[in-house]
Every structure is written in C-alpha cells, then in structure tokens.
C-alpha cells in the first residue's frame, strides 16, 4: 500500500500534466440498497464491455460514459439499459448506480372472476427474431423486476424499454404449458403493477353409449395430448356423461391463442368392460372448445360373447365357468367377468372397421379362461385359451375339456379295496365312499399346457381307512388322458394305503338304457340317442350333434327364430309326441 501511495504521489507531483489510470469498482443496487444480481456495465469511452456486478476496470481520470444493464430475475438478458456520465478521479473508487425495482403481479381469471387454478404467466420478450423468457410465475404471485420507466434517471433503451411482454398459460385441470396467449407489453413503474386478465372457460361433456344408445356403465373419458412428437399428457379423466370445466381453445374476443392444444383438446374413449376401465381406448378427433362448450355423444359398439365347455362326448360339463380378462405376461392380471359356461355376456367390441382404431391392452381381443366344474365346485382348475377378437357379430365358441369317468377306490398295499373306507378330494369336495363313481377333468399338462389352478399339479386325495378314524392326506394324482391309473400309496397307521382310479368302460350312470359310449350326457336320463329333440334350446337331447332351432344360430330377425320354433312345435304336437302344456311351455320359452 505504501508503494502504491508513493507511486501516486510521484505521478501527481512529478508529472501533473499526465493523466494517471485508476481502478474503479462497479455496483448496481435497487432503491433498498440491495444488489441486482447478474447486472453488467459497459464503458463507452474506453470500449471496456460486460463488466460484471462488483467487477473492476482501470480507467483514466476524467469523464466517462457508462452503459448500465440490470439483471432481470437474477439472469442477464441485456434487454434493458441506460447511460450515465461519471467523473473518475485519480484514486481508486467504487461507482454505485441505482436502478429501481417494483413488483409485477398477473392474475388469470375465468369469465366469472374466479381464478383458474394452476395458471402461470411468463414475463419476457416475444417479438419476431428475439424471444426470451425472463421468468415463469404462478398466477397471482408477484415477481420483483427492474422498472422500465423512471423519470428520476436518463431514458431507458433496449428491447424491453417499452415494457415487459406477457404470456398467459391457463391451468388445464392443474396442467400448464399447453395453451398460451400473448398480451400487450406492460410498463413497470416504481409503483408496481397488478394486471388481471380473463380467459374464458366452458364445459366439456362426453357420453359413451353402445349401438342401442344405452350408456356403457363404468366408461371413462380422458382429455389430453397424445399426438406424435409430443410428450403424452392426460389433463383429466372423468366418468362418462359427467362435465368438466376447461379453458377455451378459441376466443375471437382476445389475442390469438397458441400452444400445443390451441387447435383443440384431444379426447380418448375408455369403455367400461363389465365395470373395468383402461383396457380398451379409442382416440377421437380434436375438439375445439369455444365459449358455448362441448356436448358429445359417442358410440362404441357392443356384442355378445358366449363360451360353452363340453367334454369329449359333446356333453356340457356341469357347473363350469368362463372367465374373461387379462393374464398376459408383464400386465397386472385383471378379471373382467366370470359367467356360467354357455351363457352370454355383452362387452365392448375390440375391432370395429367403422370407427377409429382401437388401442389398449385388450385391443387384440379378450383372453378367456375355462373353469370346468368338479362335482359342482369351480375355481379348482383352469385353462387359458387364445385371445378372442370381439367383432360386431359377436363370439360363440365351444371348447372341449377331456374328462375321465370312473370309480375311485381306497386300497391297501395288495390293491385290495378297504371295506368301509372313504375318500375326499380336498379341498373342498365332500367325503365319498370307496368305489364311488366320479367325473374329473383331465389335468394332464402335456395335453393342456396352459392349465392352472390349485388342482393343476394333481388331485389331492385324503382317505379314511376306518370308521371313526381321521381323514389322512394320501397323495396327489394326475389324470393323464388315455392312460392306466396305478394306485398311489401313503403311510397311514403304520400301513400303506392308497387310491386306485378305475376308468369307466360301458357304464350307464343315469340309467336311461344307453351306456356312456353312446350317451352324450350320461348324467341326465332325458338325454340319449333316442330322446325327443326339443326346439329353441342349446341342449342336444338326441345326441346327434345338431340343435333344433338353436337360439344361438343366425336368423334374419327374432320373428324368424319364433317361426322356426313354431313350425317344429306344431309338428311335434300333431304327431302326439308333446302335450298341449308342453307346447305352450316351449313357445313361451322361445319368446
């Protein structure tokens, strides 16, 4: 310091006619003596530019022109500036300049004066060839910015000297950035500015119906953006027929609306699948929302899906169920519906050439599981079938599940039946006496690779070898189609006991005089090769693999189906094969 002082004295005393350079520090503060970050200074007289806040420059004594460029929202854009002349002496000095700041608040309301939740406003400059965002602020919040007009100082220049330009971004059910509107520049003075703008809103209501104009229960409507090249965004998901209020995308009374959704909202239809959603969807054309709102009714066709389950003789397997859902790898399993085999359920179609493309997890079709009845019980064994594409003509499928019929015997190690013994296929089948006739679906994975359920790995058998004794677990056995079933043993009371399955040969279980080799349902005495085939049902009473006036067949109309039944019923009555009462019953059933 002493050396520097000595040199300065030498400069002033020995060379008074020479201008000695000095170090100058630059600062820019607001009216509260707070530094304005990211501000810069240019010295016009020397060409020294972009001196940062608290930066220094070496200047010769004398008058210098300084360009002051304040930071805007802690960033430097160079779009505001003013000039000041300063006199630099012969010693180091700090130059502190002032630039007032003021609060700017922008409010975005709907036409009723209510704030639109989730709205933003942007401050910047958006003129052609020069676009800068200074700040993005929640609507209703304030931001402190350098003023653009101040009579206490020299005139301001720069891109934003005529005021800050504003961009409004209304909240779309809490989402922003998809609609925007430019507003005229606003001059910010020391008094600050609170500006309120109106963005109209309107109702959007979409109802999804089937081809009979009935609302599809459980359907949803999704509004958002899903166009190519744009990050997908769901603005809202609402129940069919419900309304939601959204900012309009077109308003002739305001500056032009821009943004991704300025051409309208995109709408997705998600029909309820027996109360489940999100597995089928269809994108509709963009909907321009004006102040009058949108009220749409859109149609999604439905069709019947019927699945029957029969054994190898063509007889229905009693108490069987059909499950429809999604069970593919990588997708969370979902059961849409469980219905009795042979019954029909109406579902949204998965293919409709007359509509926009259908997408979603189930767009390739519905997955079907077969659950054959086991002595009146279900959910013990199942089999997944190929995906079924549901078109407007519907689905009527019949699947075969091989069953084994025979008697189960409790035997000792010599394969001798144990008198008084009993067994149970557990859980939950009832306890039965040894030698009881049973019908069991084949659970052979080689025959049915997609088999599943508790009994897929084998039928669990518990046996009771003596009255009063306990049921003891024996073993699991797999019914392999066309093979002999050897006894399976387990130690019970220090001896070996097991079960033997004897396949039925030519038994007549229902006692109708026809053995199972020719009786297509050996559990119903009214069904056999010489039974009377009745019209209008799905039962093959005479075992000829044909139905008389099947209700699942295709007819020109319902009247044609009734005419078919009437013709057959009249012929049976005239021949004396049915009574007047039976004739009336058949006709009533057909109606």
Q: What is the pLDDT of residue 508?
A: 65
In this predicted model, which residue has the larger pLDDT, 346 or 525? 346
Q: What is the mean pLDDT of residues 363-382?
A: 92
Most confident of 84-88, 327-331, 425-429, 474-478: 84-88
Query: Which of the given ranges, 99-103, 123-127, 454-458, has the highest pLDDT on average?
Result: 99-103
pLDDT over 80 at 290, yes or no = yes
User: Sorting pLDDT into bands at 50, 70 and 90, what band is 7?
Assistant: very low
Convert 22-56 into a string of H (helix), E (strand) and C (coil): EEEEEEEECCCCCECCCCEEEECCCCEEEEECCCE
Which two structure tokens, joined as six digits, stand for 556?
């020109």
pLDDT tens-digit readout, 104-113: 999 999 999 9
Pick from 80-89, 358-367, 376-385, 422-431: least confident: 422-431
- What is the percent of the chain where pLDDT is above 70? 92
Kindly tell me if the per-residue pLDDT of 437 is higher than 90: no
The reported pLDDT for the residue numbered 487 is 61
Q: Encode pLDDT of 30-76 as tens digits.
A: 999 999 999 999 999 999 999 999 999 999 999 999 999 999 999 98
- Mean residue pLDDT of the chain comes to 89
pLDDT the model gives residue 130: 85
Rounded to 5°, angle at Cα 341 from 339 and 347: 45
User: Which one of 3.40.190.290, 2.40.50.140, 2.60.40.1120, 3.30.1280.10 gives the CATH number of domain 101-198?
Assistant: 2.60.40.1120
């003509």: which residue's tokens? 393
Q: Using CA atoms, how far apart are residues 86 and 66, in angstroms rounded to an integer?
A: 7
Q: What is the DSSP letter of 7?
A: H
Q: At residue 282, does pLDDT exceed 80? A: yes
Band the pLDDT of 520: cuts 50, 70, 90: confident
The tokens of 278 are what?
Answer: 């999100």
175-214 confidence digits (pLDDT tens): 999 999 999 999 999 999 999 999 999 999 999 999 999 9
CA pair distance 8, 20, nearest whole angstrom: 8
Element holding 585 (H helix, E strand):
helix 580-590
3-state SS, residue 80: coil
Report domain 22-98's class.
mainly beta
What is the model's pLDDT at position 517?
Answer: 67
Print the SS3 string covering 446-504.
CCCCCEECCCCCCEEEEEECCCCCCCEEEEEECCCCCCCCCCEEEEECCEEEEEEEEEC
256 vs 493: which has the higher pLDDT: 256
To the nearest whole percent, how much of the chain has pLDDT over 90?
66
Residue 480: its pLDDT value, please?
Answer: 64
Which stretch of 240-254, 298-312, 406-420, 569-583 has the lowest confidence by average pLDDT? 406-420
Classified by CATH at the fold level, domain 201-299 comes out as Immunoglobulin-like (2.60.40)
The alpha carbon of residue 446 and the mean position of all alpha carbons in its chain are separated, in whole angstroms, by 37
So what's the pLDDT on residue 179?
Answer: 97
488 confidence band (pLDDT: 50, 70, 90): low
Average pLDDT rounded to a whole number, residues 482-491: 60
User: Highest-confidence range of 159-173, 373-387, 391-405, 439-453, by mean pLDDT?
Assistant: 159-173
Sketch the domain layout of the chain as residue ranges: 22-98, 101-198, 201-299, 303-400, 403-503, 532-591
Residue 523 bridge partners (DSSP): none
**Over residues 83-87, mean pLDDT:** 95
pLDDT value at 274 more than 90 = yes
Same fold, 22-98 and 201-299: yes
CA 366 to CA 362: how far, in whole Å?
6
Kindly report, residue by residue over 447-485, the tens digit of the pLDDT: 899 999 988 888 888 888 877 677 777 767 777 655 555
End-to-end CA distance of the chain: 115
Q: What is the pLDDT of residue 275?
A: 92
Residue 60 exposed, middle or buried by CB count within 10 Å (0-12, 13-18, 19+): middle
pLDDT tens digit string along 547-568?
999 988 888 899 999 999 999 9
The more confidently predicted of residues 450 and 508 is: 450
Task: With cut-offs at 50, 70 and 90, classify the pLDDT of residue 346.
Answer: very high
82 pLDDT higher than 90: yes
Which single residue is written with the structure tokens 């022109």? 65
pTM over 0.85: no
| Mean local confidence (pLDDT), 262-291 | 95
User: Does residue 331 register a pLDDT over 60?
Assistant: yes
Other CB atoms within 10 Å distance of the CB of residue 364: 15
Of the pLDDT bands very low, low, confident and very high (cuts 50, 70, 90), residue 402 is confident
pLDDT of residue 446: 83
Find the mean pLDDT for residues 272-282.
Answer: 95
CATH superfamily membership of 303-400: Carboxypeptidase-like, regulatory domain (2.60.40.1120)
């Amino acid at each position: 310091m002493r050396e520097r002082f000595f040199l300065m004295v030498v400069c002033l005393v020995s060379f008074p006619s020479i201008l000695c350079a000095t170090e100058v520090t630059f600062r820019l503060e607001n009216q509260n003596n707070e530094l304005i970050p990211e501000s810069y200074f240019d010295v016009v007289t020397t060409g020294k530019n972009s001196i940062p806040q608290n930066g220094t420059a070496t200047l010769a004594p004398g008058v210098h022109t300084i360009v002051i460029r304040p930071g805007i929202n802690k960033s430097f854009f160079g779009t505001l500036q003013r000039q000041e002349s300063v006199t630099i002496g012969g010693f180091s000095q700090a130059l502190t300049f002032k630039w007032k700041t003021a609060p700017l608040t922008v409010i975005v309301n709907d036409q009723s004066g209510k704030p639109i939740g989730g709205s933003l406003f942007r401050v910047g400059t958006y003129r052609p060839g020069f676009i800068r965002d200074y700040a993005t602020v929640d609507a209703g919040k304030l931001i402190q910015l350098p003023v653009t007009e101040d009579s206490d100082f020299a005139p301001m220049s720069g891109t934003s000297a005529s005021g800050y330009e504003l961009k409004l971004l209304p909240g779309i059910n809490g989402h922003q950035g998809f609609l925007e509107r430019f507003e005229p520049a606003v001059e910010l003075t020391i008094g600050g500015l609170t500006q309120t703008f109106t963005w109209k809103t309107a109702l959007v209501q979409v109802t999804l119906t089937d081809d009979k104009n009935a609302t599809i229960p459980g359907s949803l409507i999704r509004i958002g953006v899903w166009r190519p090249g744009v990050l997908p965004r769901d603005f809202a998901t609402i129940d069919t027929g419900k309304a939601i209020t959204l900012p309009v995308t077109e308003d002739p009374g305001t500056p032009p609306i821009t943004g991704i959704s300025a051409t309208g909202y995109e709408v997705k239809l998600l029909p309820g699948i027996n109360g489940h959603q999100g597995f089928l969807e269809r994108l509709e054309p963009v909907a321009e929302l004006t102040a009058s709102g949108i009220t749409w009714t859109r149609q999604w066709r439905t069709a019947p899906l019927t699945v029957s389950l029969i054994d190898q003789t063509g007889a229905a397997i009693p108490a069987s169920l059909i499950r429809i859902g999604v069970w593919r790898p990588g997708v969370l399993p979902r059961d849409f519906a469980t219905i009795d085999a042979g019954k029909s359920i109406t579902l949204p179609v998965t293919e409709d050439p007359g509509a926009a493309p259908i997408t979603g997890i189930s767009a390739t079709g519905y997955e079907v599981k077969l659950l054959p009845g086991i002595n009146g019980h279900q959910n013990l064994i199942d089999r997944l079938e190929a995906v079924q594409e549901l078109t407007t003509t519907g689905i009527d499928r019949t699947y075969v599940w091989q069953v084994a019929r025979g008697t189960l015997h409790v035997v000792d190690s010599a394969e001798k039946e144990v008198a008084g013994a009993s067994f149970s296929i557990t859980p939950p089948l009832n306890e039965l006496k040894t030698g009881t006739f049973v019908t069991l679906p084949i659970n052979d994975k080689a025959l049915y690779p997609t088999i599943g359920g508790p009994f897929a790995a084998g039928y669990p058998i518990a046996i009771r070898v003596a009255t009063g004794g306990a049921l003891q677990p024996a073993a699991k056995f797999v019914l392999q189609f066309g093979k002999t079933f050897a006894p399976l043993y387990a130690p019970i009371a220090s001896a070996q006991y097991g079960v033997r399955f004897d396949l039925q040969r030519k038994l007549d279980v229902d006692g109708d005089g026809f053995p199972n080799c020719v009786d297509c349902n050996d559990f119903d005495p009214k069904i056999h090769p010489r039974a009377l085939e009745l019209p209008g049902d799905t039962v093959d009473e005479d075992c000829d693999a044909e139905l008389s006036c099947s209700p699942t067949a295709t007819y020109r109309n319902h009247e044609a189906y009734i005419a078919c039944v009437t013709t057959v019923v009249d012929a049976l009555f005239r021949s004396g094969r049915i009574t007047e009462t039976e004739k009336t019953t058949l006709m009533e059933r057909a109606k």
